Chains A and B, each alone.
Chain A
């Protein structure tokens, strides 16, 4: 095990960093996209609501691996050369956006519609009223749910190895191809994922308790 780490540790470390980069950048972009999508989802205009709803349902009702494969195949057909890490991040962002949109939509339902009218009466512009009045109220519902989503996304990102993105799982496969040490490599890779995902989930639990507490006080 120690020999394995000293000889191939850098490869695994590079994979770990790639996974962290893909997941954090992809998630961040996806969260912003999801926020924008959620406003379309609750729009009163059918022409805005329908495409957004279709997109969200398509993403939420297909496996991440299929989405990633489709995205890679599509960029292949279009003959666009993009760094696989970037495209992997894009796959994560697309996946995140649909789930995030639903989280935000669910939270929006809990904010009384009258508040928006009140904000308008006070002379606030729609974006201002969202930023100052609505959004702060969404946070207690959004933050724990999105931390959980981040944990899920980190796990799903392992599927990117199947489309040859050089992330942590792929790094494990590269090292196995050279060393044949199957169990050891998957154990190390597994522990690394556990560390990432469990710390995200612990943070989610922490936020959940904090926000509940502050809501009560």
Chain B
């Protein structure tokens, strides 16, 4: 057992020590298969229908593996911990919509964004107490644990407090986005902070239940994530998205799944201090 452990540690240290161009890509090519992680609870981008993972991301993934010329093995994982699992090498690509933000960009490499969303405050339909973000003072607010909107929610809370307000009465975190919607619908929280496309899905799934009360902050780019040393894989990923964007297919996919078109900027999407820029 001890020897086994030791050899693991040795192997691990060897693995990090060697300086090949892109081990990930070599491994994918030699095994003929790429392993990707998805949190299939983010309609319309990735979700489960009749036992299969479908959505915008599933179509994009098909294009990506077509260009790579390999098979794909897709894991469905909880969002919290999905990036940590990538860093730990449990899979090669996080093929789930991840919002680019400065903290994440310090550790992870992002593909070219394939969609742009905004952060919105959603309240029960007919609720006219909340018209702006500042009306969230004293309210019970929900968001998804570990999501970029959790960070946004915390930011709003701090801004409210620093401008003299009381802040949220509490920030309640849920395991998935649909959980936040269930909580809002059933009156467990007063408002939730989520992405605009997610809000659109919820309003379609449960009509006359929700309404968008306010928008907050800059547009958010959605992107897929690889380890910073997987340079070749990132290049291939970007090439696929660029090909789809140039041919217009990307926007068709957006229309098919999301219902509206949004930006897929070719550059300028990385925040300052991003690990890719170094």
A residues sitting closer than 8 Å to B (CB atoms) are: 73, 75-81, 84, 162-164, 166, 170, 173-174, 176-177, 180, 182
Contacts and interface: CB of A to CB of B under 8 A. Distances in A.
The A interface, classified by DSSP as helix, strand, loop or mixed, is: helix
Given A76-B182, A164-B174, A164-B179, A180 B83 contact: yes
Interface of B: 80-81, 83-85, 87-88, 107, 145-146, 150, 172-175, 179, 182-183, 185-188
Given A76-B188, A173-B145, A177-B80, 18 more contacts: A73-B182, A76-B185, A77-B186, A79-B186, A80-B187, A81-B187, A81-B188, A84-B172, A162-B175, A163-B175, A164-B174, A164-B179, A173-B80, A173-B81, A174-B145, A177-B145, A180-B83, A182-B84
A73 B182 CA distance: 8
Nearest to A180: B84
Contacts, number: 51
Contacts of A84: 172
23 contacts: A75-B186, A76-B182, A76-B185, A78-B186, A79-B186, A79-B187, A81-B187, A81-B188, A84-B172, A162-B175, A164-B172, A164-B173, A164-B179, A166-B173, A173-B80, A173-B81, A174-B146, A176-B81, A176-B146, A177-B80, A177-B150, A180-B84, A182-B85
A80 B173 CA distance: 18
Given A76-B183, A81-B187, A164-B172, A182 B88 contact: yes
Nearest to B150: A177
A162 B145 CA distance: 11
Contacts of B187: 79-81
Contacts of A76: 182-183, 185-186, 188
